Amino acid sequence: MISFLVGVALLIIGFFTYGKLVEKIFGINDRAKTPAITKNDGVDFVPMKPWKVFLIQFLNIAGLGPIFGAIMGIFYGPSAMLWIVFGSIFAGGVHDYLSGMISLRSYGKSLPDIIGHELGPVVRAIIRVVSVILLVLLATTFMSGPAVLLQNLLQLKTIMYHGHVIPIVWCAIIFVYYIVATVLPIDKLIGRFYPVFGAVLLFMGVGIMIIMLGWHSSEMPEVFDGLQNRQPSTMPILPMMFVSIACGAISGFHGTQSPLMSRCMASETHGRWIFYGAMICEGILALIWASAAGSFFADPEHNLYGIEGLKAFAAQHPGENIAALVVQKISHTWMGVVGGILAVLGVVVAPITSGDTALRSARLVVADALRLDQKPILNRLAIAVPIFIIVGVMLFVDFQVVWRYFSWFNQTLAMFTLWACANYLYRQEFYTNLHGLRQTSKYRYGYIVAVVPALFMTMVSASYLLISPEGVHLPERYFIFSYVLAAIATFVAWLLFRSWKLKYENYRLRKLL
């Protein structure tokens, strides 16, 4: 219980301290007109109240990641709790805030255009492809995951495909909702119903936390029990755990969602509460589910407690969606039939509301690339329909496979986003110092807040590509070489950033002279 309570306290403190520092480094202008005001089109650029924008951002990013990802992450041990806390404060919060605020300053640009402006046209083209692939993978996982949970609540027709069950009726219902939510103006469906969905999600999280602290605090995982890896040696903490827990600590997907909300904000002063604050709330939610999964499956008869009990439960259900089963079992056992149904529905709502905005983001990324006006509904359908077809086909791929590929694309996109944010902060700082301006940030080397997590995520992404089954899949005896190669790749990324800095400085000085 101590580790959980300290973790929650650190997340809250981080919002009011480190979050405030990042805001100061960025340098907000409360008098600037936002894209929601200057480009209001009644479809995607629509000013909304700050609390609504916050709830939408929270629900957008709080999909399966902070719940399923946290559950799968706690298999590695209490070290997962440290990653959730410090990742949210120093990586995820920075990533979400900067990507959202840069989009706000860039007239609501989508993430690939933001990255492309900072890292070049070739990277822009790559990131456009990566973003659409990521969003399609996410929409697929965020359809099949909730469908499994709903199938367990109300048994409807399923089909078998290559050994895994597809709850076809629930998938169809969610699919229809995705189509409607993706095409309609953002304030017609999303803006009206997300506050209700948010209440259900918060009920679920708070309910699980109260019961866990009141009756199961002694079984909760503690950091001082040891940070050793509880998974097989072929699944090392670095990088596997840092990829498994994505949305609960840092997620490239969040960067695709932040521009959606930057197009609905009426003031820059709301940015820290909307972007950084939503990430901190998601970190708390991830910490709740990691602790719950690590404390629920105690089995004194077989001398299994905490995480070992969870592993024993997983061994009894090979080939099944373990995270979904864990959510269902904990919710029904701790909260009764009615509370359990509401709790499971909370977990269902979160990914569905992320899935629809993922497809909305995919539509906007493609529209920005094609420069296709999205006010006419036929233009929206022209882009959305092919994307829906791809998602429908992806439903027949095994959930675990889709989730693993999504996870790597997710963290790699976060890496590129952080490097783009570092470039932006440096350019802003250099321009301010060069011209003696007093607006924006007064901090020297403020770009370090983005460079440090960018370096770390480069190490994670590179090593995962070498070690994971989805990548090169080097044997365990070569793991040390994987880390060396990943460290070299990280060092090269740093050198490229340094080289870009020197070129930019020389360019600006030549223009001045």
What's the CATH number where 410 sits?
Answer: 1.20.1740.10
For residue 107, tell me if it sits in a domain.
yes
List of residues 6+ apart from 188 with CB closer than 8 A: none
User: Which amino acid does the sequence have at 329?
Assistant: K
Q: Could you tell me which residue, 206 or 270, shows the higher pLDDT?
A: 270
- Rounded to two decimals, the pTM is 0.86
Q: Which residues pair with 513 in a beta bridge?
A: none
For residue 294, tell me if it sits in a domain.
yes
- Output the pLDDT for position 100: 94
Percent of the chain with pLDDT over 90: 30
What's the mean pLDDT in 137-161?
A: 65
Euclidean distance between CA atoms 376 and 367, whole angstroms: 12
Say if residues 80 and 237 touch (Cβ distance below 8 Å). Answer: no
pLDDT tens readout for residues 414-434: 999 999 999 999 888 776 655
pLDDT tens readout for residues 69-116: 899 899 999 999 999 999 999 999 999 999 999 999 998 888 888 998
Answer yes or no: is pLDDT of 369 > 60: yes
Euclidean distance between CA atoms 54 and 274, whole angstroms: 5
Mean pLDDT value across the chain: 83
Q: Model confidence at 437, in pLDDT bands (50, 70, 90)?
A: very low
What's the mean pLDDT in 399-414?
A: 76
For residue 342, tell me if it sits in a domain.
yes
Say if residues 22 and 422 touch (Cβ distance below 8 Å). Answer: no
Q: Model confidence at 438, in pLDDT bands (50, 70, 90)?
A: very low
Instruction: Kindly list the distances between the CA atom of residue 374 and the CA atoms of 108, 351, 363, 379, 393, in Å, as whole numbers in the listed order.
Output: 14, 25, 9, 6, 25
Instruction: Kindly list the distances between the CA atom of residue 305 and the CA atoms of 47, 118, 230, 295, in Å, as whole numbers in the listed order.
Output: 50, 49, 13, 8
| C-beta neighbour count of 93 within 10 angstroms | 31
For residue 490, tell me if it sits in a domain.
no
Euclidean distance between CA atoms 115 and 112, whole angstroms: 5
Euclidean distance between CA atoms 7 and 288, whole angstroms: 10
Residue at token pair 């299994």: 304
String of b and e for 95-132 (b: at least 16 CB within 10 Å)? bbbbbbbbbbbbebbbbbbbbbbbbeeebbebbbebbb
For residue 325, tell me if it sits in a domain.
yes
Q: Could you tell me which residue, 297 or 162, shows the higher pLDDT?
A: 297
Euclidean distance between CA atoms 113 and 263, whole angstroms: 15
> Does an H or E element contain 159, and which?
strand 159-161
Pick the closest to residue 80 from 325, 281, 286 (CA basis): 286
Which range of residues forms the domain containing residue 385? 2-414
- Output the pLDDT for position 453: 97
Euclidean distance between CA atoms 122 and 461, whole angstroms: 20
Pick the closest to residue 88 from 248, 218, 227 (CA basis): 248
Alpha carbon 62 to chain centroid, angstroms: 7
SS3 content of the chain, % helix, strand, coil (to 5): 75, 0, 20
Weakest mean pLDDT among 32-36, 158-162, 329-333, 410-414: 158-162
Token code pair at residue 5: 């309570």
For residue 166, tell me if it sits in a domain.
yes
User: Which amino acid does the sequence have at 475?
Assistant: P
Euclidean distance between CA atoms 378 and 338, whole angstroms: 43
Instruction: Kindly list the distances between the CA atom of residue 387 and the CA atoms of 109, 114, 252, 273, 402, in Å, as whole numbers in the listed order.
Output: 21, 22, 20, 32, 16
Instruction: Kindly list the distances between the CA atom of residue 499 and the CA atoms of 73, 126, 428, 458, 493, in Å, as whole numbers in the listed order.
Output: 37, 21, 17, 17, 10
Quote the crossing angle between the two packed helices 322-370 and 111-119, to the nearest 10°.
70
- Output the pLDDT for position 391: 81
Q: Model confidence at 262, in pLDDT bands (50, 70, 90)?
A: very high
User: Which amino acid does the sequence have at 69?
Assistant: G
Q: Could you tell me which residue, 50 or 148, shows the higher pLDDT?
A: 50
For residue 291, tell me if it sits in a domain.
yes
| C-beta neighbour count of 213 within 10 angstroms | 15
> Does an H or E element contain 165, and which?
strand 164-166
Number of domains in the chain: 1
> Which parts of 74-189 fold into alpha helices (H)?
79-87, 93-105, 111-119, 121-153, 168-183
Say if residues 83 and 245 touch (Cβ distance below 8 Å). Answer: yes
Token code pair at residue 473: 């899949």
Token code pair at residue 367: 């529209």
Percent of the chain with pLDDT over 70: 84
What's the mean pLDDT in 57-63?
A: 80
- Output the pLDDT for position 439: 47
Say if residues 414 and 250 touch (Cβ distance below 8 Å). Answer: yes
What's the mean pLDDT in 439-444?
A: 56
Token code pair at residue 115: 């990255």
What's the mean pLDDT in 115-141?
A: 85
- Output the pLDDT for position 417: 94
- Output the pLDDT for position 305: 62
What's the mean pLDDT in 241-247?
A: 86
> Which parts of 371-446 fold into alpha helices (H)?
377-394, 399-434
For residue 37, tell me if it sits in a domain.
yes
What's the mean pLDDT in 202-217?
A: 82
List of residues 6+ apart from 395 with CB closer than 8 A: 140, 143, 144, 166, 171
Pick the closest to residue 351 from 73, 59, 57 (CA basis): 59
Q: Could you tell me which residue, 241 or 364, shows the higher pLDDT?
A: 241
What's the mean pLDDT in 491-500?
A: 92
